[in-house]
Amino acid sequence: MQPPVDPGLFPYTRGIHASGYEGKLWTMRQFAGFGAPEQTNARYKALLAAGGTGLSVAFDLPTLMGRDPDHPLSLGEVGKCGVNVTSLADMETLFDGIRVGEITTSMTINSPAAMIFAMYLVVGEKQGADWHRLSGTIQNDILKEFIAQKEYIFPPRPSMKLVTDVFAFCAEHVPKWNTISVSGYHIREAGATALQELAFTLRDGIEYVQYGVDAGLRVDDFAPRISFFFNAHSDFFEEIAKYRAARALWAYAMRDRFGARDERSWKLRCHAQTAGVSLTAQQPYNNVVRTALQALSAVLGGTNSLHTNSLDEALALPTEEAATLALRTQQIIAYESGVPDVVDPFGGSYYLEELTNTLVDGSHRYFDQIDKLGGMVAAIEAGFPQREIAESAYKFQQAVERRERVIVGVNDRASEGGEPPPSILYIDESAGERQLQKLDHLRRTRNVSSVERALDGIREAAHSGRNTMPPILDAVRAYATVGEMCDALRQVWGEYEEAAVI
Amino acid sequence: MSKIRVVIAKPGLDGHDRGAKVIARALRDAGMEVIYTGLRQTPEQIVTAALQEDADVIGLSILSGAHNHIVPRLMELLRSKGLDDVMVVIGGIIPDVDIPRLKTLGVKGVFLPGTPMQDIIDFIRGNARARV
C-alpha cells in the first residue's frame, strides 16, 4: 500500500487544507424553513442574533416543484415541508431586515433554482449589495432529482441547459457564488449504499463539468464553484473513508479527465448532513446518539460544513428545542472533543486506507458502466441508477426484517408501548391561506403587460438556446411567480414523467 | 382463491418514493397483485386507478403533511363511485393527533415509520374484502 501524501497535497485524500480545521472550523449550517415567509424570517433573525453567520433555506413542495399555491397539486402542501416563496415579494419578506451582502445563504432548490436564485439576486440588488461579492450556494443539482428525490419538472436535457446557464451567468456576474451542490445526500436517503452514493454523486459531478465544457465554458472558469453534499450515515469507518475517496476521485477526474489547471478546480469542498433515514420514530432520544456518531464521522472525514439532524425528524419538522440540541451536538464535537485539532487522524491506518481504496475502485467500476451507457443523463434515461438504488433499498429492508441488521429500539430492544413521544412541531393551514391571499393581491396589483412580456422573453430564450438567466431576472423584477416562470418553460420544454416501475 | 389486488399510490407533490416502492415490492413478493401508480397522483387519478384495476386495497404513501387535505377528498370520491368496500391504508409520517380523524373518515390502517413489512402484509390479508 502506498503511504498517503500529506493533507493539502494532490489528490487531497487526507484533506484540501494542510492545517485541517486549525485555520477554519467547519461551518455549522442548520437547514430551516416553514410556513409563510414572515414566520421563517423571524426564525432567521433569531438564528443570526444567536451568532449565526449563514442561513440555509428549506422551501416547501409547491416552490420546489414550480407550482403556485393556487395550483390543484399544491393543496395542503403550502408551507408544510419548508417556506413558501411564490414571487419576489415573498423573497423580500424572507430577507426583510437581513443584509444579504453580509451573510452567506444556502438554498436547497433544484428544478426552479434559476428562478429562486434570480429572486435572491434582485433582493440583493434592491438592498444595494454588489453581486460580485454575494456569496452562498444553490443546490441546483437536477441529476439527483431524476435519480433519487424526484423533484424534477422538465426533461433531463433541457434541465441541464438551465444548470449550465447558471454556471455561465455566475462566472461572469456572481463569481463567488457556489453554483451547484452536487448531492449524494438524497441518493443515500433513497436507499443507496455508501459506494453507490459516492459513485453516482461523483459521476454526476463529472456530467455537469462535461455539459459546462460542451456549452463552451472554460473548465477553470466554473469548476472551482462546484461543491458537494454527502450523507453522514451510520457505518462509522466506511463513512470516514467515503469523504477521503471522494476528494481523490474528484482531483484525478478534474486534472486528468478535464485537464483543469487551477488547483481550486481539483479540490472537492463538501457539506454533510447526518442521515435522516437513520432516525427512528421509536425511542426518538436514541437519535441524538446516532446523529452525534454520524457527525463525528463527517468531521473525521474532513467535511467543510455540517448540518446535524434533530431527534424528532422521523415525526415532523424539528421544534426549536430539538434543533438547538442538534446544533449543540456539533458544537460539543467542535469545542470539547479535541477532534478538530488533528488533520485526518486515520491517515495511514491499514483499515481506513483499505476502505478508501475499495470505495475508489468500486466507483471507477460504476464510472465505467455509466460511461458505456453514454454518460449519466443517458444512464438516468435508461433507469440504471434508479434501479440500483431501489434494489439496495429493498435489500436493506429485508435485512432489517430478518434482523440481520439491527436498529436499536425498532427491531431490537424495542420497549413495549415505547416511551412518551416528544412534543412535535405541528404546521397548521394558516400559511397556505395567507399565501393564497397574497398571491391574489399580487395578481391584481402588478403590471400585467410587463409580466407577459418578461414571460415571452423566457420562452424565447428557451427556444433559441440563449442564456435563460437574463429573461428570468426580468420576469422576477416584474413579480412573475415561480409557477408562471416554470409554466413558460413547460410550454417549450415539456414535462418529465418517469416510468413507474417497482 | 384469486390474489388480493392493491393499488399503491403517492399523492401530493412529494417525490420520496422509497417507502412506496419497498412496500409495493414486499406485497408483491407476498403474493398480492400490486399496481404502483407512480408519483404525484391526484385523488381523482387514484380512484380511477382503483376502479380500473378492480382494487381491493388502496395504499397511500404520504410523508409531506398533506394527508388532511388528500384523504377526505379520496374517501368522498370512493363513496361517490360506490367503492366503499375498497380498504384504504396509509403509510408515512402522520402526526398522532391526526390519526383518529383519518380513522373516522374510513381509513382502516395507519402505518408509521419503523413498521415491519410483515405487519402490513398480515393486516392487509386479514382485512381486505373477500374475493370470490
Q: Is residue A132 part of a domain?
A: yes
What would the pLDDT profile of A191-221 be if each residue is shown by its tens digit? 999 999 999 999 999 999 999 999 999 999 9
Whether A493 shows a pLDDT value over 80: the answer reads: yes
Greatest mean pLDDT among A49-53, A319-323, B51-55 lies in B51-55
Same domain, A336 and A454: no
The CATH number assigned to the domain holding B57 equals 3.40.50.280
Give the pLDDT of residue B97. Answer: 92
What domain range is B12 assigned to? 5-127
Same domain, A339 and A478: no
Q: Is residue B119 part of a domain?
A: yes
Give how far A52 is from chain B: nearest CA, Å.
28
Final residue belonging to a domain, choices A383, A401, A419: A401
Same domain, A182 and A246: yes
Same domain, A394 and A459: no
Whether A421 shows a pLDDT value over 70: the answer reads: no
Q: Is residue A306 part of a domain?
A: yes
Q: Is residue A41 part of a domain?
A: yes
Q: Is residue A124 part of a domain?
A: yes
Residue A11 burial by CB count (10 A; 0-12/13-18/19+): exposed, middle or buried?
Answer: buried
Q: Provide the number of structural domains found in chain A.
A: 2
Q: Which of A188, A168, A195, A266 is nearest to A229 (CA)?
A: A188
Cis-peptide, bond into residue A11, ω within 30° of zero: yes
Q: Is residue A66 part of a domain?
A: yes
A280–B contact, CB cutoff 8 A: yes
Please indicate whether, in this complex, the C-beta atoms of B114 and A64 are within 8 angstroms of each other: no
Q: Is residue A11 part of a domain?
A: no
Same domain, A101 and A144: yes
Same domain, A273 and A169: yes
Mean pLDDT lowest among A44-53, A148-157, A305-314, A426-435: A44-53
Same domain, A293 and A338: yes
Q: Is residue A14 part of a domain?
A: no
Q: Is residue B115 part of a domain?
A: yes
Please indicate whether, in this complex, the C-beta atoms of A150 and B39 are within 8 angstroms of each other: yes
Of residues A309 and A29, which shows the higher confidence score? Answer: A309
Whether A1 shows a pLDDT value over 80: the answer reads: no
Q: Is residue A270 part of a domain?
A: yes
Same domain, A220 and A326: yes
What is the average per-residue pLDDT within A112-116? 98
The CATH number assigned to the domain holding A202 equals 3.20.20.240
Q: Which residues of B touch A277 (CB under 8 A)?
A: 18
Q: Provide the number of structural domains found in chain B.
A: 1
ipTM comes to 0.92
Same domain, A74 and A143: yes
Residue of A nearest to B43 (CA): A73
Q: Is residue B85 part of a domain?
A: yes
Q: Which of B113, B93, B120, B92 is nearest to A279 (CA)?
A: B113
What domain range is A328 assigned to? 27-401
Size of interface A-B (CB pairs under 8 A): 106
What CA–CA distance (Å, rounded) separates A297 from A233? 8
Give how far A347 is from chain B: nearest CA, Å.
35
> Who among A61, A67, A72 is closest to B42 (CB)?
A72
Final residue belonging to a domain, choices A363, A386, A401: A401
User: Which amino acid would we find at residue A208?
Assistant: Y
3-state class (DSSP) for residue B122: helix
> Who among A62, A65, A427 is closest to B65 (CB)?
A427
pTM of the model: 0.95
What would the pLDDT profile of A118-165 be if each residue is shown by its tens digit? 999 999 999 999 999 999 999 999 999 999 999 999 999 999 999 999
Final residue belonging to a domain, choices A358, A379, A401: A401
- Which of B10, B17, B117 to mutate to test binding with chain A, by most A CBs within 10 Å of its CB? B17
Cα A294–Cα A299–Cα A305 angle in degrees, nearest 5: 100
Q: Which of A191, A398, A500, A501 is nearest to B30 (CA)?
A: A398
Give the pLDDT of residue A420. Answer: 66
Q: Which residues of B touch A77 (CB under 8 A)?
A: 12-14, 64-66
What would the pLDDT profile of B17-72 be if each residue is shown by its tens digit? 999 999 999 999 999 999 999 999 999 999 999 999 999 999 999 998 889 999 99
Of residues A195 and A416, which shows the higher confidence score? Answer: A195
Residue of B nearest to A188 (CA): B18
What would the pLDDT profile of B74-85 be if each residue is shown by its tens digit? 999 999 999 999
Same domain, A185 and A315: yes
Same domain, A326 and A377: yes
